[in-house]
């Protein structure tokens, strides 16, 4: 996945001289996860910019670039560090297009690794997607495969709206697969059914897709047919795909590693309650992280794993 992300930026920068990359250590070192490796050598220090250790400065600079017609791709080294720039993101970037009547779209992509699974502890493992999904004017995208990572990032870079592009660092190098060459784009706002099923719909995204698929395969051996849907885009959400899946299966399990209370799963549950109530044969179930700061020693207990997903799907499938 990390190579696919790198390739997406390379393709975009080669195609459009207005695309720039900026962030901490993105140039000479190629980023802490090497997502920008080789880009400064290829495109120069004026287009791949090593910034000071200041998230406020990175985002503020990206805003200025975007308002003058550039297409900045700003990296926040870990999403846990994005909060100093929170006001600029939700009060400025998300609102420029609206407040200007479409004259200033503020075309910014904010890339950032998110989530647990690498023994990062409290300050390198957070999943704050719900904060940003709540903000009108922002798009929030999370890939789970290399092909989607490249395709969605290219779509984000050339989108007219600002996009928060969250990268599940847990599967940066474990998620592998074929990636199309060239200008391969995946439309933002479309979910993907990664494993068809008939009895329970499992909705997930990012690093939760592999354990969800593994759980579905385990349950198939018990005669339970689980459909796994990768949301890919939280905002805009492919609501039609979500509803169609539940109308078929009659049951829903939602998986994310962010805390449960007011997590993105709560919005999905509300949508299903409002628009698919008569299709549901059992209550909607959420398998999530816990409402605590992210732990270090108990990381694997905190993160939803295959066993927790299997238990939730099995119980939902057996519910009246």
* CATH number of the domain within which 206 lies: 3.40.50.920
CATH number, residue 135? 3.40.50.970
Domain presence at residue 209: yes
Candidates 189, 129, 208; CA nearest to 164 is 129
Alpha-carbon torsion (42, 44, 46, 49), positive or negative: positive
Please tell me whether residue 267 adopts helix, strand or coil conformation. Answer: helix
Q: How many domains does one find in the chain?
A: 2
On whether residue 155 sits in a domain, the answer given is yes
Average pLDDT in the chain: 97
The percent of residues in the chain predicted with pLDDT above 90, rounded, is 98
124 as an active site residue: the answer is yes
User: Which of 107, 142, 171 is the last residue before a domain boundary?
Assistant: 171
pTM equals: 0.96
Q: Summarize the confidence of residues 295-319 as an average pLDDT.
A: 95
Residues 198 and 282 grouped into a single domain: yes
Shared domain check, 222 and 158: no
Question: Could you tell me the residue range of the domain that residue 286 belongs to?
Answer: 192-318
Over range 263-280, report the average pLDDT. Answer: 97
Same domain, 141 and 222: no
Dist CA 132 CA 172 (whole Å): 22
State mean pLDDT over 10-24.
Answer: 98
For residues 57 and 51, the answer to whether their CB atoms sit within 8 Å is yes
Quick one: 226 and 136 in the same domain?
no
* Banded pLDDT at 320 (limits 50, 70, 90): low
What is the predicted pLDDT for the residue at 319? 84
What mean pLDDT do residues 262-277 have? 98
For range 71-86, the mean pLDDT: 97
Where are the alpha helices (H) located in the chain, listed in sequence order?
2-15, 39-43, 55-67, 86-87, 96-99, 129-133, 146-157, 209-220, 239-249, 264-275, 299-302, 306-318
Same domain, 28 and 167: yes
139 and 77 housed in the same domain: yes
Q: Determine which one of 124, 134, 184, 311 is catalytic.
A: 124
Instruction: Answer whether residue 119 shows pLDDT above 90.
Output: yes
Residues 99-112 have a mean pLDDT of: 93
Q: Does residue 199 lie in a domain region? A: yes
pLDDT at 192 over 80: yes
């Amino acid at each position: 996945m990390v190579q696919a992300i790198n390739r997406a930026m390379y393709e975009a920068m080669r195609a459009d001289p207005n695309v720039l990359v900026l962030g901490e250590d993105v140039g000479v070192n190629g980023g802490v996860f090497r997502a920008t490796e080789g880009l400064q050598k290829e495109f120069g220090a004026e287009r791949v910019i090593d910034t000071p250790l200041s998230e406020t400065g990175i985002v503020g600079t990206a805003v200025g670039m975007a308002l003058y017609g550039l297409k900045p791709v700003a990296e926040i080294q870990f999403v846990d560090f994005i909060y100093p720039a929170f006001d600029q993101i939700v009060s400025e970037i998300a609102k420029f297009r609206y407040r200007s009547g479409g004259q200033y779209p503020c075309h910014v992509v904010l890339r950032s690794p998110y989530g647990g699974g690498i023994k990062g502890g409290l300050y390198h493992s957070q999943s704050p997607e719900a904060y940003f999904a709540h903000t009108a004017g922002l798009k929030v995208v999370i890939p789970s495969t290399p092909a989607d990572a490249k395709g969605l990032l290219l779509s984000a870079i050339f989108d007219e709206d600002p996009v928060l592009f969250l990268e599940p660092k847990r599967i940066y190098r474990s998620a592998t697969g074929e990636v199309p060459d060239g200008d391969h784009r995946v439309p933002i706002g479309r979910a993907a059914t990664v494993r068809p099923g008939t009895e329970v719909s499992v909705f997930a995204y990012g690093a939760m897709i592999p354990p969800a698929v593994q759980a579905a395969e385990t349950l198939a051996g018990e005669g339970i047919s689980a459909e796994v849907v990768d949301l890919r885009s939280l905002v805009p959400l492919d609501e039609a795909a979500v509803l169609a899946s539940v109308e078929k299966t009659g049951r829903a399990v939602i998986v994310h590693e962010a805390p449960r209370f007011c997590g993105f799963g709560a919005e999905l549950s509300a949508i299903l309650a409002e628009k698919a109530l008569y299709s549901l044969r059992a209550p909607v179930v959420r398998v999530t992280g816990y409402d605590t700061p992210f732990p270090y020693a108990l990381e694997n207990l905190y993160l939803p794993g295959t066993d927790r997903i299997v238990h939730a799907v099995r119980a939902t499938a057996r519910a009246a």
